[in-house]
Chain A
């Protein structure tokens, strides 16, 4: 009897324990499932039903994913912002912008990104190639950041005021300087202040004023976020009555006396990332975490209608590092596109293997595009607007790799090596020149292709062509820095017919002189 009672108590205990940790019952019934690989990126389209805790709905789901750490793929963000302000663009336009803005990336596919305001301003932070285009509008939402290492950061971003980052013409960082104030008078002689063109008033102080031509600026209307990129126009200590449109003015006591910013450089003023966000290259946001550490969000207290069925876009991260995008079609019951609630979407992301997942802008914004065989891009989902909706930004899987960010030596006291002299190119296309003292090698720029050589000779290809050649000497980088490139030397490899004719005249002339 005692044993029976003990068994009963045990069964009751186990049963009640399960009740307190109840698992949602979620199932995907795939009526059709097609899988394809485009440039190594997996795409699936699933048409069927889902069932969450007994509620069934018709769905069309698109999945696009890749493990960037195991392929030549990377994750980038893109947008269609105006040079000064914001803007929207449909996903095809944003893809075109990514492909034309970077030599090292080609979009394979991607989805729409963040929620946005009427003028296209993204609601949360947006980072494009280390540029903090927006720090967000103060909603403190989670942001998804991607590092060159493959690490994905999935937290609220850390900002530490503003910074001035100065790049040289090789896109190397000369220095990063803390900016104390935006659009405000310096309070102490050590303060560094940056003024944007929305500052009304004069700038009067005896401090140095470095005026930049700001060819890109983004800011909100409430002073929550400023971003500016520009190059040097002039430097003065005179008072400035007002700031010219599309200009930035950097004010600091003795600022730039060390020629931190020269005419060859460009400078970026932006929110300074800190903590784990310090080396994030691309970041995008949405609204509502769907999955955290392999657990679906149980209760949504905010977000875009979490209990309503909508078209949805989401991004997920798997344990092995795979990044994947999901779109769910909706607002079209007649065709079986019911859309999903945020709860269903969370379970779907778990179903696909997400450890972490995030809800991006949905509804009519939901778009997934994928490269096709002709090099164009196809819309893989069925946008509920019936056409592509202009959105604020997007997130993409690209073929290519990141160009590592380098730091320049500043101030640079290294000795610049002399240019190679007496460069001789024989009729056979052999380039020769005397060795340059302290050089550790040479870099040839031939028709815009860089070729590094150890010796002072290089044989041009025999192919008929016009070759534009520049040479520089490579320094050890410690005591000696590279020389500049020489001026362009043009050399022709002619068709054999021409060579024969030239040779005839050479022979004739040689013999003429020998008579």
Chain B
């Protein structure tokens, strides 16, 4: 009886000790990972809360089609800013330093239009619509491209060339050396891209905000 009781206690201790472990539970290879797990080298690992938050933000941001974006291209001598407003049919880009604003619009009939307001001069044009179905550089990001380093998410080194291709920088002698993401309200909120060019290094900071809050009207001859 004592032996049976000891064996039972031993099994219980071993079982309880297993519950305290923080390391990911190793799942047999032939088992699919669950929703909050990540498969690495054929094995599933549990995601932390922060990882889940980023994964959800990247996925949810893919669905966003109404937002504003503040872009700053920075180096030691320059802070070039572009303010971008995006709706499902109209996009507006404001280049403050140039007193220039550009508008793009896709019409119901499939044609696309372009307007440029430079100071007080308005120029209009019909442009060829993009053949791309859903291009948006940050919508192409995948959770698996990023890793947590010192509390922030950075691009994995083996994905740098993928992102450079995304930006079409490879043919411009420019190399992306880092992409850092931050989230807010379950969406990507900030992207910092570090770029090395031949003569200078740049940091491109992108802030995504005003989700579903952008209203742009396209009127004949002018855009308000």
Contacts and interface: CB of A to CB of B under 8 A. Distances in A.
A438 interface: no
Interface in A460-515: 489, 491-492, 494-498, 500-502, 504-506, 508-515
A506 B93 contact: yes
Interface in B200-221: 200, 202, 204
B104 interface: yes
B80 A502 contact: yes
> A500, A501, A504, A512 — which one has the most chain B CB atoms within 10 A of its CB?
A512
A514 B200 CA distance: 33
A424 interface: yes
Contacts of B200: 495, 497
B124 interface: no
A448 interface: no
Contacts of B167: 504
A489 B91 CA distance: 26
> B89, B98, B133, B134 — which one has the most chain A CB atoms within 10 A of its CB?
B98
A513 B136 CA distance: 10
Give chain B's interface residue range (CB within 8 Å of chain A): 35 or more
Given A501-B202, A509-B91, A512-B86, A423 B130 contact: no
B104 A513 contact: yes
A508 B67 CA distance: 14
Contacts, number: 96
A497 B202 CA distance: 9
A489 B119 contact: yes
A514 B120 contact: no
A515 B172 contact: no
Contacts of B114: 510
A260 interface: no
Contacts of A504: 137, 167-169
B71 A514 contact: no
Contact of B106 (A495, A497, A515): A515
Interface in B120-148: 120-121, 123, 127, 129-130, 132-137
A494 B129 CA distance: 27
Interface string A424-448: 1100000000000000000000000
Contacts of B33: none
Nearest to A497: B197
Nearest to A421: B120
Contacts of A423: 119, 121
Contacts of A491: 98
B214 to A, nearest CB: 12
Interface of A: 421-425, 489, 491-492, 494-498, 500-502, 504-506, 508-515
| Nearest 10 interchain pairs by C-beta | A511-B130, A513-B104, A513-B91, A514-B129, A497-B197, A514-B130, A424-B121, A509-B91, A500-B172, A514-B106
14 contacts: A423-B119, A489-B119, A492-B97, A494-B78, A497-B172, A497-B202, A498-B202, A504-B168, A505-B84, A506-B93, A512-B135, A513-B86, A513-B89, A514-B104
